[in-house]
Structure 1
């Protein structure tokens, strides 16, 4: 093997190889042991990814539901080896809490449910009907009915808990317990697409990060709390790499590896859900002559930011739990009962830090409201920005680590407004060039200049008039009349006579009048090519004095079809 081949072989063995799954029989037997009961009503579960998670089931014992609460408690305890901590927390938040609210509703109606054996198919059907009437109590949809996806999550989490009891405590479960087959079909179609931040919002976030980075690096301004320093660098890495929050939280201190090319580093992360390792090549130092790929001042070097982060958290490594010492994002709690304790960052702490970051900089969205800052939108923002600069969907796919470019195009990479505009211009010119035809002293524009005499006479006599000009053949399938007047400018049947200039420029003036009421990006995409065609391709084919007279008449006395309301 050559020297380069040996280097790549070592890199493959060290970086790219997937981690092995632990399928030892002892773990499976421990998780499914029938005598594996919870140690009490309150306990702590040690999650290798989330740290120690505390669960308290005392509040579920109220209203005489101690038997049912004990089974739910044992279900959580038995699943500690089957589910990660984030999933267990979701089972409590969306599965157990919503179902307990439903039980409170039944108790108020005089139908108490206190034992596991009382839960049957009929009760689950009533629970599904109750979810349909339930209103959201938090988030942007507060006060609105629960979304289709949220209702499915609530039901599926409860089903998981009941299936656990059916497997480990079958004698306590009702014989009438069964589950409806897919009560929420095609849920993925109802989940809204993750929206990226607009270019303006993106610049606002970048500007706020630049201000904080100057404060951190140069000591300008008020000293930032330690948690804010961590979240600033987490946002920088998210904008530069497009990685998910969970991958960032699990970044290791040795994630930056050597690269065979000088001036480059391999940034390695673990995608736990896919059981895969992703390696990204990043610049190790800023090259003065290399501005390709830079979005803004942030980040000048991803490797530099990550090294600074590791140096910043290095003093906390010795005081951290042994399981967490290899992590990059460590935080020393500054106050309250855990003051001085070094912990790993989790989603709750990051969410609170993002809220403080937004409030501190008073970040606003395009509508003037408070900007909802979250990592779920930073990933498609990075994808859209990379696609805007490269116009290469496969490069975006490789950067995000997707298996298919279809996933990238459908869910992450938004087309830039200028890309849609350029696409419209290309399509506009793919049609045949308009030509000028003289018929009985009349100037006419047709798509190809070829037209039977019968159609010419029909057009000259006023037949097939549209709201803009005239059409050679307005009929479509089933003898339907075409009413898509905006498509006339791309249609080969579109014709314009001198007699039509008044109507055409009245439409033109109306478009300009309505421009201030329409979103600029939408106006440029939909109406910009029409205005450009009228000015650049149609008007020069007529005598200038005729065009000026038609423009003046359209401004002073618009055609009735386009007269302002």
Structure 2
């Protein structure tokens, strides 16, 4: 018997673009479908403040077909037809993507003095939009965000065949990389200094006292203070903390600890961090104001105070920890939960009430991103620079933790300043490696008149890109760390330069290191396999300072 064919049931309520194909094979929108009967998109409760988005203003402006297609695509996103996008993400597509793109399309239609159709969604229009964004008073990161949010909607339309999507080649609808090196232009949050952290923690201890002493359900402001305490001591992200459930505290194998378990949307997985449990001694003296509270006790106290509100909470908020009665004029008395806006207001309030100032005398900026970096640097400091432990505490990989969360300490800054002064002095006096003739890759028998040296009196060879093929170059087991640091620094250039240039100038280097230097050293017994693997692992996680991308932005200076 043949295999039975299974027919997939189609939900006819799913939003579709009412279109047809003309004789030329182009998609045309049916005139009777424009404008849409309801131009307003409603969003469920989400972490953003957006609840609706209206497309009405773009209809009748010469871009009806594009507006209609974009509205239908957003409706499909909301209906869950294009993957598991969060409501906040879809709202971002509208407010930080389509607003700017559709406004540009209106200007384009006016300039061309004709109606824009779906056939106009091509490389020329996209490049014109990018040029339009660059002419605005926007940072590069803002331009990138506006473009990426609009592209997500248009790309989904193209995949469904609503317009002709070209995915590769010089005529590709979307340029491959319109914002190169954007990560270098993004300035992330910095960690709080030791003084700022201590002052902020002291202010929080005072601010949350009503939660520990009063038996009435706390206000949104007090709950925001409590959440900031949890963020400061656990380093978790904002959304998992805001959506913390009432079953978030789980048993830990050790008696003096519990797990705080949170849900991470992006990873579709739980994330847990161990926190110190409340001891019997603390319970006996908990009324003493001098005794420091712990995070587990604070969370359990909040859950006790907010439990009566859980039965009145809307279905999408049931089981949340941070419940309170709204005092807003249009929702007074209704049970709601903390949002990012409420949290930001609470952070601003505590800074103002307790006069928290940074080193420049300005009000201290407090947000979850800064608290997460503060937590990371504190763990790194406590563990004496243990990157693996710090990464595990954050729930990140060591590479992400090192690149995005850790900042140099004051001692590190002083050491770097000293090294910089010393390097300048040695360069000016031509005394680099004068004692042992060491260089950033290993050792050199003749740094002045070697094979690739400048061969001038008083000049020192800085042509490190050719060291691995120079007959005067030598590597000992102690030099493996520097060699592999250079190795990974060269590999990182692949994402920065063109393919042909990489093949011409850099591709030979890692082959020489792997196939000749390391292989020959292992064969002769000069290197031990364990030492090679240890040096490689160390260089990958924390490269030698000379080959750090922060110190040397481009290897061209050594070419």
- TM-score with structure 2 length normalisation? 0.61
Measured against aligned partners, the alpha-carbon deviations of 1:68-104 in whole angstroms (never above 9, x if no partner) come to 3322211111012131112112111221122234245
Of the structure 1 ranges 313-322 and 238-247, higher mean CA displacement relative to structure 2 is found in 313-322
Q: Hey, what does 2:278 align to over in structure 1?
A: 285
Measured against aligned partners, the alpha-carbon deviations of 1:452-474 in whole angstroms (never above 9, x if no partner) come to xxxxxxxxxxxxxxxxxxxxxx9
Q: Specify every segment of 5 or more residues in structure 1 that has no aligned partner in the other structure, as ranges.
A: 1-24, 137-145, 290-296, 429-445, 451-473, 484-565
Q: Hey, what does 1:56 align to over in structure 2?
A: 54
Q: Specify every segment of 5 or more residues in structure 2 that has no aligned partner in the other structure, as ranges.
A: 1-7, 20-32, 283-289, 422-430, 436-446, 461-559
Aligned-pair CA distance for 1:270: 1.7
Matched, 1:336 2:352: no
Aligned equivalents of 2:257 and 2:266: distance in 1? 28
CA contact (8 A) 1:197 1:381 kept: yes
Matched, 1:201 2:215: no
Aligned equivalents of 2:457 and 2:209: distance in 1? 65
Aligned-pair CA distance for 1:111: 4.9
Aligned equivalents of 2:308 and 2:278: distance in 1? 25
CA contact (8 A) 1:269 1:277 kept: yes
Matched, 1:150 2:112: no
Q: Hey, what does 1:170 align to over in structure 2?
A: 162
Aligned-pair CA distance for 1:193: 3.9
CA contact (8 A) 2:251 2:259 kept: yes
Aligned-pair CA distance for 1:212: 0.5
Q: Hey, what does 1:73 align to over in structure 2?
A: 71
Pick one of 319, 344, 355 that aligns with 1:326. Answer: 319
Aligned equivalents of 1:279 and 1:225: distance in 2? 26
Matched, 1:395 2:389: yes
Aligned-pair CA distance for 1:305: 1.1
Q: Hey, what does 2:557 align to over in structure 1?
A: none
CA contact (8 A) 1:47 1:84 kept: no
Q: Hey, what does 1:126 align to over in structure 2?
A: 128
Pick one of 345, 358, 364 that aligns with 1:352. Answer: 345
CA contact (8 A) 2:15 2:72 kept: no
CA contact (8 A) 1:34 1:168 kept: no
SS at match of 2:362: coil
CA contact (8 A) 1:46 1:52 kept: no
Measured against aligned partners, the alpha-carbon deviations of 1:308-367 in whole angstroms (never above 9, x if no partner) come to 121232222111112321111223221222222222333233333333333333432221
Pick one of 365, 373, 380 that aligns with 1:372. Answer: 365
Aligned equivalents of 2:16 and 2:70: distance in 1? 16
Aligned equivalents of 1:110 and 1:319: distance in 2? 56
Q: Hey, what does 1:272 align to over in structure 2?
A: 265
RMSD: 4.3
- TM-score with structure 1 length normalisation? 0.61
Aligned equivalents of 1:310 and 1:121: distance in 2? 54
Larger Rg: 1
Q: Hey, what does 1:456 align to over in structure 2?
A: none
Aligned equivalents of 2:262 and 2:148: distance in 1? 30
Note closer, same or farther for the CA distance 1:64–1:395 as it changes in structure 2 (3 Å cut): same
Aligned-pair CA distance for 1:282: 1.6
Aligned-pair CA distance for 1:35: 7.2
Note closer, same or farther for the CA distance 1:122–1:100 as it changes in structure 2 (3 Å cut): same
1:38-117 to 2 correspondence within 5 Å?
A: 40-46=38-44, 53-61=51-59, 63-80=61-78, 81=80, 82=83, 83-103=85-105, 105-106=107-108, 111=113, 115-117=117-119
SS at match of 1:415: coil
Note closer, same or farther for the CA distance 1:408–1:420 as it changes in structure 2 (3 Å cut): same
Aligned equivalents of 1:318 and 1:300: distance in 2? 29
Aligned equivalents of 1:259 and 1:317: distance in 2? 26
Measured against aligned partners, the alpha-carbon deviations of 1:428-476 in whole angstroms (never above 9, x if no partner) come to 9xxxxxxxxxxxxxxxxx99xx9xxxxxxxxxxxxxxxxxxxxxxx989
Aligned equivalents of 2:291 and 2:52: distance in 1? 38
Aligned equivalents of 2:230 and 2:77: distance in 1? 33
CA contact (8 A) 1:236 1:298 kept: no
Note closer, same or farther for the CA distance 1:155–1:410 as it changes in structure 2 (3 Å cut): same
Q: How many residues align?
A: 399
CA contact (8 A) 1:206 1:298 kept: no
Aligned equivalents of 1:412 and 1:193: distance in 2? 9
Aligned-pair CA distance for 1:229: 0.8
SS at match of 1:268: strand
Aligned-pair CA distance for 1:264: 2.1
Aligned equivalents of 1:187 and 1:26: distance in 2? 44
Aligned equivalents of 1:356 and 1:103: distance in 2? 42
Aligned-pair CA distance for 1:110: 6.6
Q: Hey, what does 2:137 align to over in structure 1?
A: 135
CA contact (8 A) 1:238 1:244 kept: yes
Note closer, same or farther for the CA distance 1:62–1:224 as it changes in structure 2 (3 Å cut): farther
Measured against aligned partners, the alpha-carbon deviations of 1:13-50 in whole angstroms (never above 9, x if no partner) come to xxxxxxxxxxxx87999868667998721232336877
Aligned equivalents of 1:482 and 1:215: distance in 2? 71
Aligned equivalents of 2:249 and 2:457: distance in 1? 64
SS at match of 1:89: helix
Aligned equivalents of 1:389 and 1:158: distance in 2? 44
Note closer, same or farther for the CA distance 1:427–1:333 as it changes in structure 2 (3 Å cut): same
